[in-house]
Structure 1
Amino acid sequence: MTHWLLSTREQVSAPIAAQLANGLFGSLPIFIGGVINSVAVAAVAAGRMHTAPFIGWLVFEALLGLVRIGVVQSSHSATPERLERLRHLASLLSVAWATSVGVGALLCLTSGDWVLATIACLSTAAMVCGICLRNFGTPRLAAVMTFAALAPCALGGLMTQEPSLRIISVQLPIFMVTIFSASFGLHRMLVSWMTTTAELERSKALNETILQSNPDLTLILDADHRIVFSNRQPEELVCQSVLTGRDFCSVLEEKDRPAAAAALARAQRGELTSFTTCFTRPTGEKLWFDTVVNETSDASGRFIVVARDITRQKHSEERAIWMAHHDTLTGLPNRAVLQDRLDAALMQADGRILAVDGDAPGHALLIVDVDNFKIINDTLGHDGGDVLLRALAARLRAAVGHGDLVARTGGDEFALIVAARDDEALHRIAARIYEELREPILHGDRVMECGASIGASFIPLDGPGRSEVMKAADIALYAAKAAGRAQMKIFEPAMMDEVERHQAMITAARFALKRKTILPHYQPKVCLTGEGRIVGFEALLRWRDRDGHVRGPDAIQAAFNDPILSVAISDYMLEMILNDIEGWVADGVAFGHVAVNVTSGDFRPGGIVETVLDRLKARNLPASCLQIEVTEDVFLDKGALDVERALKRLSHHGLRIALDDFGTGYASLSHLTQFPVDLLKIDRSFIGQIGAKGDAEAISSIVINLGHCLGLEVIAEGVETVQQQEHLITMGCDTGQGYLYARAMPAADVSGHVREHEAARALIHMRQA
């Protein structure tokens, strides 16, 4: 029953329903007034009538009032579960109280005391009003209480002796219906108001949560641009004072205020506008905000300002810009910055020329390349190389003046733009650089020596544009390396000719290789200790130029220093030589063997030395038909161990190894025992001076004797006269090679030359016989 009394037909949420039911414990003045009034009326009635019913009514009202006050008092500190029970108890007590009021009024109406009846009726009407005012949150309870209070009054009107009082019995039902209608109407209004208020509260709470959770700073400005709301506290921002009440522009730094004022003006015209502002914390840290300003749509003239923190994005952009213009390892500017500075220096130089300002400072470009950087990387690892590059960058910065540029252009190469008008100024700068580099660099427990070659060019003397100036410095650097490294060379026009000649050689070699116009020629080697028979040939490179002329290797000498091109040429030559040998073997030509020249590059992985045995086997050719000729510098290369293993493998399979140009290099005698050398070739520079210089004869004799002592065959190359041949025979030289016997010939002429040589030998033998 109490659930029904406290419920309503309106669909409301549980919190609102509880709030409505809690009206039982509210409106304390009305509640206390009703309790006191009912007790007072009962007391008056008991005092006037002195009968048991009236005295009982007084006692009941007093006790009921005390209980009801106790229940209301308990509700203030009750738990939710106990409060629910107190609501039901309070509703029952309220109905009991209203019934008591109604019964008391009935007693007063039927007592015959019209003063008492008037007091009771007026009191009951007042208490009904209190019931409606206090309990319209629970209209069913209010209706029951009203009925309980007024129904006995209507019954009392019918029971009185006075006919005029019976009109109460007619009026009271009408009054009750009116009261019921008003109670339920007020209830609906209350529920609607409470529901709307709750929705507004939820919406407000949601908006506040969104604003507080939003990482963006949100401000609301009034029409005068003063801040009336902020979702951030001052300590969260860069400002130290309260934002609310301050003029928006006054919060910003001076430099950003014009942009803010313009944005507010555009927003007032209905435009959505934005600007970027920066705050500086007391610590010096900068915070960047992308700020959007928009006017509200409620015609209040207010503005919404949303500022998004883009500090991290700004830092990322600045970092990206920095990385786009700097080297990450050394922190130096990169090639892009170098090019911009070169362009600026060239424009500045053009301005000086137009102004004929001879006193203005000139500039020069220096390109610095670390000597032997690959060796450092190979021995100490890339960590050691990085340490070296960072140290070199710091020392280059220390060596140049303020305003000069030091940039890293890639790998182990740096570029400097310095103020210098002449060679003397450049040499002073170079001296400072080499002085800085003289100090060793420590890497762990290792000490690294840092050497560098420098090429320099003047701006704009050595070129009207950036590429020409850089090319001139590159050419000077190439000249510095060619001259022995660890020095500076200043560009001279003659250097350009050398570079162009070098490039022309490379281009010619590539053209000949592509067109397959490289072809081997063969120069015979003749035995000096026997009857002059041909014991073999040396394969010499020849190539046809664009005009069809046959040219020697000197015309493409630069190609043999190119690690890729030289291997490609050697591979092509070997293939052509093996084709020729295969043909001679098939034709029964007694060619003996063919000596093939190889370089240090041919010993690298993938070089021809690794494939010689496989190629001979594929063609079913004996190893004795081929000889390998190496020069002394092969033994001195950093890959000497690989060379030793390769030569021993070839020697083990029957190939003979010849040491070419012996006596002109830096090989020691220990190399003759360390490496599997079978033949020594005396350089033509000694043979050509036999008969003219005693030193040449002495050296040749020593080499021949040394070779024989070591069990080696000795070959003299460059034999051009009979006198030279006679001297060599006297010295005991084994084999001769040179123009005296024949020039290098194409493969097609070899078989004919062998037949002619054998026929000439036979004729000489017959004459001698």
Structure 2
Amino acid sequence: MRQDDGVLPRWTVTRWLVECAGVVPAEIRPSLVQGLYGSLPIFLGGVFNTILVSSIVALRIPTPPFLIWAALEIGLAALRLPLLVKGSRAAQSGKRAHIDLYILAAVCWAGSVGYGCFITLLSGDWLAATLVMLSAAAMTGGVAFRNFSAPRLVMVMITLSLGPCAIAGVMSRELIMFATALQIPMYIYAMTHAAYRLNAMLVQTMRSERENGRRARQDTLTGLLNRAGLEDVITRRTDGTNSGATLFYIDLDGFKAINDTLGHAAGDQLLVKVSQLMRQVTPATDVVARIGGDEFIVFADQMNPDEACQTAQRLIDTLSCTPFLLNNTNVTVAASVGISIRSGAPCDLSALMLEADRALYDAKLTGRSRAVLATVA
């Protein structure tokens, strides 16, 4: 399980409630669910509103149904607030959040509001009924725009809170309430539709942000990391550690001649094929990047000098022995490699690359198609 998956619900019913329309990438789902924790001021405003209204109505009509409603609102608020605060903190820190209980408590709160609307409308106290229905309508606006990352949850909450109003309106046998009962389903539909539209916009925005971030860190031709992506991965990989590292700075020998002879399109094909080969022959734990032109970086765990030189030579031999079909012509390409090793010190990518670049220059200067080891720190 990924660290941020701790925010995702586990129960069948709560998973159903937070599912969105269409296909949502797995990496986006945790962010969408985390958005349910929303804004604390909006949450407090809704809770204060329903507690205040239920308490006023209970004082005005001090019968068991209304006293139960006021107690429900207070009890649910006492449950939901800690779940909100603790869950929000847990989600931000990557820990397991009690999202299932939080979602279920939100649904119960909506049901409590609907219960209050129902009993108030049937009480015949139209002043109290007006206050309760206005409060419920205001609450549903907050529900829609606070929880639109889960539009199905919005639909359920609004239906639970306003649906009983329509039922009670019909049961009241008051003509004006019949009109209200007819409008409520349309209102529920409109708010739910708005939540789905907002959700679609949110998902598309998140997709675009991730795609832009990917493009900013990835070489568009080969799919390897670029310099920015390499720095980002290495920073996260070595954060707070002094485990050391080995960097191979690779430059293709004879690439310009192939480019000039077969054309730039063939040169691009060669770069793609070389990138694929590098991915195949390097361990999955190594980081492979193209930093421009025909220059590549392989970032690996710390090796001793002999092991690093042997690794570089295997890469050189593999490249030189592999034919690449370009424009119906088999071509081979060699490589020169500069190696830099850091041990027991924080990783400085710029320093490693500078050392490896100098070693690469020496490799080119002394005959190409060879590996040269820079100083070992």
Same fold (TM over 0.5): yes
Q: Is the 8 A contact 1:24 1:90 kept in 2?
A: no
Does residue 1:133 correspond to 2:145, yes or no? yes
Does residue 1:32 correspond to 2:44, yes or no? yes
Among 162, 183, 197, which residue is 1:150 paired with?
162
CA RMSD of aligned residues (A): 2.9
Report percent identity of matched pairs.
34
Q: What whole-Å deviation, never above 9, does each CA across 1:149-195 have from its counterpart, x for those lacking one? A: 11101012112253212211100011111122111111111111111
Among 55, 76, 82, which residue is 2:96 paired with?
82
Structure 2 counterpart SS, 1:15: coil
Q: Which amino acid aligns with 1:188?
A: A
Q: Tell me, in whole angstroms, the C-alpha distance in 1 between the residues paired with 2:95 and 2:84.
A: 15
Among 34, 58, 65, which residue is 1:22 paired with?
34
Tell me what 2:191 maps to: 179
Does residue 1:116 correspond to 2:147, yes or no? no
Q: Tell me, in whole angstroms, the C-alpha distance in 2 between the residues paired with 1:162 and 1:26.
A: 39
Q: Which amino acid aligns with 2:226?
A: I
- Extract unaligned runs of 5+ from structure 1: 216-290, 293-307, 321-769
Q: Tell me, in whole angstroms, the C-alpha distance in 1 between the residues paired with 2:57 and 2:186.
A: 27
Q: Tell me, in whole angstroms, the C-alpha distance in 2 between the residues paired with 1:315 and 1:119.
A: 83
Q: Is the 8 A contact 1:102 1:151 kept in 2?
A: yes
Q: What whole-Å deviation, never above 9, does each CA across 1:540-596 have from its counterpart, x for those lacking one? A: xxxxxxxxxxxxxxxxxxxxxxxxxxxxxxxxxxxxxxxxxxxxxxxxxxxxxxxxx
Change (3 A) 1:150 1:74: same
Tell me what 1:56 maps to: 68
Q: Tell me, in whole angstroms, the C-alpha distance in 2 between the residues paired with 1:17 and 1:214.
A: 26
Q: Tell me, in whole angstroms, the C-alpha distance in 2 between the residues paired with 1:69 and 1:214.
A: 42
Q: Tell me, in whole angstroms, the C-alpha distance in 2 between the residues paired with 1:185 and 1:155.
A: 28
Total equivalences in the alignment:
228
Equivalent runs, 1:220-369 vs 2, <5 Å: none
Q: Tell me, in whole angstroms, the C-alpha distance in 2 between the residues paired with 1:95 and 1:113.
A: 27
Tell me what 1:211 maps to: 227
Q: Is the 8 A contact 1:61 1:100 kept in 2?
A: yes
Q: Which amino acid aligns with 1:174?
A: M
Does residue 1:12 correspond to 2:28, yes or no? no
Q: What whole-Å deviation, never above 9, does each CA across 1:467-513 have from its counterpart, x for those lacking one? A: xxxxxxxxxxxxxxxxxxxxxxxxxxxxxxxxxxxxxxxxxxxxxxx
Q: Is the 8 A contact 1:154 1:168 kept in 2?
A: yes
Does residue 1:98 correspond to 2:110, yes or no? yes
Q: What whole-Å deviation, never above 9, does each CA across 1:264-305 have from its counterpart, x for those lacking one? A: xxxxxxxxxxxxxxxxxxxxxxxxxxx99xxxxxxxxxxxxx
Among 156, 180, 199, which residue is 1:168 paired with?
180
Instruction: Write 1 or 2 for the structure with the bigger share of strand.
Output: 1
Change (3 A) 1:48 1:209: same
Equivalent runs, 1:60-71 vs 2, <5 Å: 60-71=72-83
Q: Tell me, in whole angstroms, the C-alpha distance in 2 between the residues paired with 1:64 and 1:177.
A: 26
- The structure having more radius of gyration, on CA atoms, is 1
Q: Tell me, in whole angstroms, the C-alpha distance in 1 between the residues paired with 2:139 and 2:23.
A: 29
Among 181, 189, 192, which residue is 2:204 paired with?
192
Structure 2 counterpart SS, 1:4: helix
Q: Is the 8 A contact 1:105 1:153 kept in 2?
A: yes
Q: Is the 8 A contact 2:34 2:88 kept in 1?
A: no
Change (3 A) 1:202 1:50: same
Q: What whole-Å deviation, never above 9, does each CA across 1:399-439 have from its counterpart, x for those lacking one? A: xxxxxxxxxxxxxxxxxxxxxxxxxxxxxxxxxxxxxxxxx
Q: Tell me, in whole angstroms, the C-alpha distance in 2 between the residues paired with 1:145 and 1:156.
A: 18
Question: Offset of 1:312 from its aligned partner?
Answer: 5.8
Question: Offset of 1:206 from its aligned partner?
Answer: 3.5
Q: Tell me, in whole angstroms, the C-alpha distance in 1 between the residues paired with 2:146 and 2:18.
A: 13
Question: Offset of 1:313 from its aligned partner?
Answer: 7.2
Q: Tell me, in whole angstroms, the C-alpha distance in 1 between the residues paired with 2:38 and 2:180.
A: 32
